[in-house]
Chains A and B, each alone.
Chain A
Amino acid sequence: MKNFFISRLLQAIPTLFVIATLTFFMTRFAPGGPFDSDKAIPEEIKIKLQSHFGLNLPLFDQYLLYMKNLLAGDLGPSFKYVGWDVSELIQLAFPVSLSLGVSALLIALLIGLPAGMLAALRKNTWWDYLPMGIAMVGICLPSFVLGPILIMVFATKLKLLPALGWYSWTDLILPSLTLGLFYAAYVARLTRAGMLETLKQDYVRTARAKGASPGRVLVKHAMRGGLLPVVTYLGPAFAGLVSGSFIIESIFFIPGLGKFFVTAAFNRDYTVVLGTVLFYATLIIILNLLVDFLQAWLDPKAREQR
């Protein structure tokens, strides 16, 4: 197990390196990019950029400076928000997105897992058709369609829940539901497929032949194999939750990192854009590592790979 941990960690480092390098060169060479000299940028910012990025140094030295800054966690000053550093902005906005993401994930798992398992156990009955039918609708209803509809129904018409802004915990409900339900649908389908596949396995038949009750068969024998596809899906799901948060935060006017990112993209606030990209990339790589560990913990055979 320990070797697995180390080797995985070591694999993550080149990935981060590649991303950082890619971002650097992309921005330097993009037409209409931030370092085009005819952009109208306020003086104070220009000075800060000069010193931070060393724009008068040769290209390779700029690159080294960039990497050095990165390792120190310095992402540079914001183009638009004078006086603010990108890392400060991230520190402010990220906790908001984090709470949104975590609640959405919880919703996805707490609804999706039981629904999928029930559907698998009561296959080809209404307990199967109904949840799976809803799940199918769920994966076809993107958050930007579902969100406005939920707002219209619950906030505008019924006046039950607050729609926009981020003032109290009730503001969390509609956005997390919108984001989470899509993933709940995916999780439900995956769980059902995984459970069905596992329940067909020979070793489950052996468990029954030993006289195990259906409950025991499910929990002690089928669950691990059945849940593995969901665990594998968690990796892409994290990535999806991150990008989904952009849309949700835009719709619901939540001051999270996603909204900052999108706004920055529009405003050509390059340092914020780049900084956020790097931050998210690092985050996702760490999350993927966690998922790998979870998988290895569940599946003894996976521990020996690579």
Chain B
Amino acid sequence: MSDVNIKGLKTFFHTREGVVKAVNDITFSIPPGEVVGLVGESGSGKSVTCHSLLQLLPSPPAQVEGGEIIFSGEDLLQAKEWRMRELRGKSISMIFQDPMSCLNPYMTVVEQVAEPLLIHKMASEEDAKQQAIDMLLRVGVNKIKERLNAYPHEFSGGMRQRAMIAMALITKPDLLLADEPTTALDVTVQAKILKLLKKLCAEIGSSVLFVSHDLGVVAEIADRVVVMYRGKVVEQNTTQELFRSPTHPYVKALIACRPTFTGNSEILPTVEDFMGNPSPMPEKRKQVKKSDPPAENTEGWIKVRDLSVHFRQAKQGDVVKAVDQVSLTIPRGKTLGIVGESGSGKTTLGRAILRLTPITSGNVQWQDQDIASVQGKDLLAFRKKMQIIFQDPYASLNPRLTIEQALLEPMQVHRIGQSRKERVDRVVSLLEEVGLEPDYRRRYPHEFSGGQRQRICVARALSTEPEFIVCDECVSAMDVSVQAQVLNLLSQLQAARGLTYLFISHDLCVVKHIADEIAVMRAGKIVESGDAESICLNPQEKYTQELMDSIPSTSRTGTF
């Protein structure tokens, strides 16, 4: 049991463009045996803090400029490298976000889990191997006895993360640093891993520094919470107090702009609303022309019947049923949410409806026309009306085209607008509609932030005047505050233009916020569907219930 006290820590990065003050004078402590959650969005400095504790930052750009980190009476920042090596893996262990890239692909899992014992001479080779097997069983890698010589790539994501935990805890460290350990995992797996971590660390008596961008996840596991914003600590308190009565406006914003299950608001508040300072980039939320009101018949506008998408696996020759006999209807002017974990087939479904993936069988009816069989000019006409927005806004934009070029191209292909001038005018109004400065249209994608790029993708999707948009995890890669902005934008656009959305996501809270109806998918099939309220608050199927239960309670209710 050890005390960890961080005082006035400053870590700066010296880059070609100048000095980045990643961590700028922070102070907090981790009491022995407790779990402290370190929360912040990207750029807050939370990961850098975590890495600074173990002095794992690459030294030319990164430099610790000041402060102390007192661990059991010793200042880690003054420790020499050989002393740090003694502590790493033995008294202070770390687990990382992506277990695939963080495990050595050329060593067996058992070897890697046993390694800390061998490095710190805590056991003989035989003994270490046995302890590793025991530890792996303890963390829930049940079939390890049959897979003693298995390599990391032969395990699933959840199993790999459990192996990482085993590797970190095998030496019974005083402090465990966890850097976003559940971010890459499905929500049901995440719930189990959080429980495991909490239980094991309590048994071993380790304190934990749990870094995450997700307040809800942190609330599940932490005793105390420290919130960081732009390199500084803005508030710290016990978890209960922080949620019940947050004081700093940023913390209030973080709590408020998460869509929750019980929340009813159409428009989410954003960080700017709380911080009081006007957005550095003025958001022009122009209400653009009203399109025709949605047709009277809002029923069954897009009908999917027995849709199947099968892939043939080149290696084994067996067939993967990504989408298996799925039927659903998407009402006009509304949003249908598709929820599922990885491998559920939700992304394939979205792409199949848009004919970006070949359909094996079944049909997709759109106003009595079977989309699956149209060709040529008809296909082009159909593409004009149905668009898609992807998850990764950077990969979604051609890095060699300016924004203007990227927005003009669809208009040229679909012959929208009579002259170039008319098209450029449309580009300007599109950019204003999504809240971007039109003068920026001559810039390139890499010059924008993630949230801005996603808005550009929205603008591009709108450039063909579509009626239906598939949103494929389009807010999943974002910070909570940016996510709120984009969700608000999507809602406004739906109201102004009468758009219909198919909103695909793994994040139940987001889907509940934006969808009118929800379908839950698993292993290619629809498990349950119905209107959003009843699915979320009164699920019938066991899997749906399991999904709902896995959501951290704070995320569900917004309160502690």
Contact = CB atoms under 8 A, between A and B. Distances in A.
Direct contact of A and B (CB under 8 A): yes
Contacts of B98: 202
B104 A221 contact: yes
Contacts of A37: none
B192 interface: no
Contacts of A213: 85, 119
Nearest to A221: B104
Contacts of A201: 101
Contacts of B104: 203, 206-207, 221
B120 interface: yes
B89 A205 contact: no
Contacts of A304: 315
Given A203-B102, A203-B103, A299-B106, A210 B315 contact: no
B101 A203 contact: yes
B102 A211 contact: no
A295 to B, nearest CB: 12
Contact of A300 (B86, B105, B116): B105
B89 A209 contact: yes
A225 B120 CA distance: 24
A28 interface: no
B116 A301 contact: no
Contact of B88 (A208, A221, A300): A208
A225 B102 CA distance: 14
A224 interface: yes
B151 A210 contact: no
Interface string B69-106: 00000000000000001111110011010100111111
Contact of B96 (A202, A225, A298): A202
A201 B88 CA distance: 18
A211 B88 contact: yes
Contacts of B153: 300-301
A298 B107 CA distance: 10
Nearest to A205: B56
Contacts of A301: 105, 151, 153
Interface string B102-144: 1111110000000110011000000000000000000000000
B523 interface: no
B496 interface: no
Nearest to A123: B60
A220 B106 CA distance: 9
B54 interface: yes
Interface string A271-303: 000000000000000000000000000111100
Interface string A187-215: 00000000000000111011111111100
Contacts of B120: 211
Given A202-B96, A301-B153, A210 B89 contact: yes
A211 B116 contact: yes
A211 B119 contact: yes
A299 B107 CA distance: 10
B101 to A, nearest CB: 4
A201 B90 CA distance: 22
B167 interface: yes
Contacts of B88: 208-211
Interface in A213-268: 213, 216, 220-221, 224-225
A203 B90 CA distance: 18
Given A202-B98, A202-B101, A301-B153, A209 B119 contact: no
Given A202-B96, A202-B98, A210 B106 contact: no
Contacts of A206: 94, 96, 102-104
Nearest to A300: B151
Contacts of B94: 206, 209
Nearest to B55: A208
23 contacts: A203-B101, A203-B102, A203-B105, A205-B96, A206-B94, A206-B103, A210-B89, A210-B115, A210-B119, A210-B167, A211-B90, A211-B119, A212-B85, A212-B115, A212-B119, A216-B119, A221-B107, A225-B106, A298-B106, A299-B105, A299-B106, A301-B151, A304-B315
Interface of A: 201-203, 205-213, 216, 220-221, 224-225, 298-301, 304
Interface of B: 54, 56, 85-90, 93-94, 96, 98, 101-107, 115-116, 119-120, 151, 153, 167, 315
Given A202-B98, A203-B103, A207-B104, 12 more contacts: A205-B56, A205-B102, A206-B94, A206-B102, A209-B56, A209-B96, A210-B89, A211-B85, A212-B89, A212-B119, A300-B153, A301-B153
Task: Return the 4 tightest CB-CB contacts between A and B, nearest first.
Answer: A210-B89, A211-B89, A211-B88, A202-B101
